[in-house]
């Protein structure tokens, strides 16, 4: 079968770069790294030592390659892991003429991007995300970071990549629950900006949304296009035009999602927490009078259709409320939520009442 042409999406802004979507893309890496690069350090999850081999082989033909294996998942996003990478780069004499490549899920992208952003105040990095979540969320947009005991991604920086390779072939070995979790961010993009994503999910058998399906490819393309447009207009989350929340819109559902992740000590998948968080904030918007109940119900239906949770009751409201207060979008003691007035019509709700916050949690099955 003839290989379908790769899709190239341009992310604009001060440092434009391409996001390439397709299959078997490792041969594109040297072109993305550009001229002048002598050495490449590959940051990858230690659980992917076999899957990373084609990338290492492709790079070894043109560069001196060093490997930087890191722990899998959120365990990688710690200061100690970043320090170990910095020390390895220092011992190797890594300079500004060298570059990093990240290979793994969103946690690897976040950690590897942070190392690239901070080594010598910034060196070139290309991301090769290997999870659906990484492709549509973490790898695009230049946000990097690590976690602390106080919360998720509270230490980080903006550092745009030189390019992103979304190689759908790497998803073939992804456990189904991980693929489903990635759809949480995809569906979120449908609600905040592109209703065609919701139509695709509603019009396809979820079991047939697989790594080699045309449906998944289009979902990835559309979700990446949403994020590319948003970050090009507002890289550092300073605000959008004409009342649009700007980059903050990408945090739809994330205030509650991050609170759930923290109370669960990150044992819940990010996309699962996002699905719950989106349903929660839809319920909150309904109580604030900005969103029709039919759209709230559509949240439940679409997220549930792909197999994502829409209820939560494992923590008390008070514990989650305390966690939400350290969210990066808060202003002083005032909580801020991205909400919808309709599908693809986002706004900001600042300082909702405690009663509405509590009632919205009860509406998703929560306990006081």
* Separation between Cα atoms, residue 331 and residue 66, nearest integer Å: 42
Which of 174, 167, 184 minimizes the C-alpha distance to 210? 174
143 marked as part of a ligand binding site: yes
170 marked as part of a ligand binding site: no
Element (H, E) at 333: none
Terminal Cα-to-Cα distance of the chain (whole angstroms): 56
75 marked as part of a ligand binding site: yes
Per-residue model confidence as pLDDT tens digits over 274-314: 999 999 999 999 999 999 999 999 999 999 999 999 999 99
255 marked as part of a ligand binding site: no
74 marked as part of a ligand binding site: yes
Tokens 């079968």 map to which residue? 1
290 marked as part of a ligand binding site: no
360 marked as part of a ligand binding site: no
152 marked as part of a ligand binding site: yes
5 marked as part of a ligand binding site: no
Tokens 């003691």 map to which residue? 333
130 marked as part of a ligand binding site: yes
313 marked as part of a ligand binding site: no
* Separation between Cα atoms, residue 170 and residue 302, nearest integer Å: 26
- pLDDT recorded at residue 244: 82
Which domains are seen in the chain, by residue range? Answer: 7-171 (3.40.50.1970), 176-363 (1.20.1090.10)
Residues of the chain with pLDDT under 50: 1
Cβ–Cβ under 8 Å, residues 180 and 305? no
88 marked as part of a ligand binding site: no
185 marked as part of a ligand binding site: yes
- What CA–CA distances, in Å, run from 209 to 152, 213, 219? 30, 6, 9
261 marked as part of a ligand binding site: no
- pLDDT recorded at residue 115: 98
């Amino acid at each position: 079968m003839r290989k379908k042409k790769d899709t190239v999406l341009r992310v604009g802004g001060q440092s434009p770069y391409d996001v390439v979507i397709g299959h078997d893309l490792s041969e594109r890496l040297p072109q993305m790294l550009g001229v002048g690069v002598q050495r490449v350090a590959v940051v990858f999850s230690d659980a992917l030592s076999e899957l990373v081999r084609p990338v290492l082989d492709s790079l070894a033909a043109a560069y001196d390659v060093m490997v930087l294996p890191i722990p899998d998942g959120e365990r990688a996003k710690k200061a100690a892991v970043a320090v170990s990478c910095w020390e390895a780069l220092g011992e190797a004499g890594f300079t500004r003429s060298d570059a990093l490549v990240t290979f793994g899920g969103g946690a690897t992208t976040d950690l590897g991007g942070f190392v690239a952003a901070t080594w010598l105040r910034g060196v070139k990095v290309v991301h090769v995300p290997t999870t659906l979540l990484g492709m549509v969320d973490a790898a695009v947009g230049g946000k990097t970071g690590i976690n602390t005991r106080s919360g998720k991604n509270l230490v980080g920086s903006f550092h745009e990549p030189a390019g992103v390779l979304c190689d759908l072939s790497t998803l073939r070995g992804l456990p189904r629950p991980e693929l489903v979790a990635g759809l949480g961010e995809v569906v979120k993009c449908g609600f905040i900006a592109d209703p065609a994503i919701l139509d695709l999910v509603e019009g396809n058998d979820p079991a047939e949304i697989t790594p080699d399906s045309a449906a998944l490819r289009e979902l990835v393309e559309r979700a990446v296009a949403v994020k590319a447009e948003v970050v090009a207009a507002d890289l550092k989350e300073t605000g959008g035009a004409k009342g649009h929340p700007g980059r903050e819109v990408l945090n739809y559902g994330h205030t509650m999602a991050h609170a759930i992740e923290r109370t669960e000590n990150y044992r819940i998948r990010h996309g699962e927490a996002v699905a719950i968080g989106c349903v929660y904030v839809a319920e909150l918007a309904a109580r604030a009078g900005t969103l029709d109940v039919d759209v709230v119900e559509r949240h439940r239906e679409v997220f549930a259709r792909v197999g994502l949770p829409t209820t939560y009751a494992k923590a008390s409201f008070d514990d989650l409320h305390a966690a939400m207060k350290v969210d990066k979008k808060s202003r002083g003691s005032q909580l801020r939520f991205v909400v919808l007035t309709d599908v693809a019509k986002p706004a900001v709700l600042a300082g909702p009442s405690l009663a509405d916050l509590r009632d919205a949690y009860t509406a998703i099955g929560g306990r006081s």
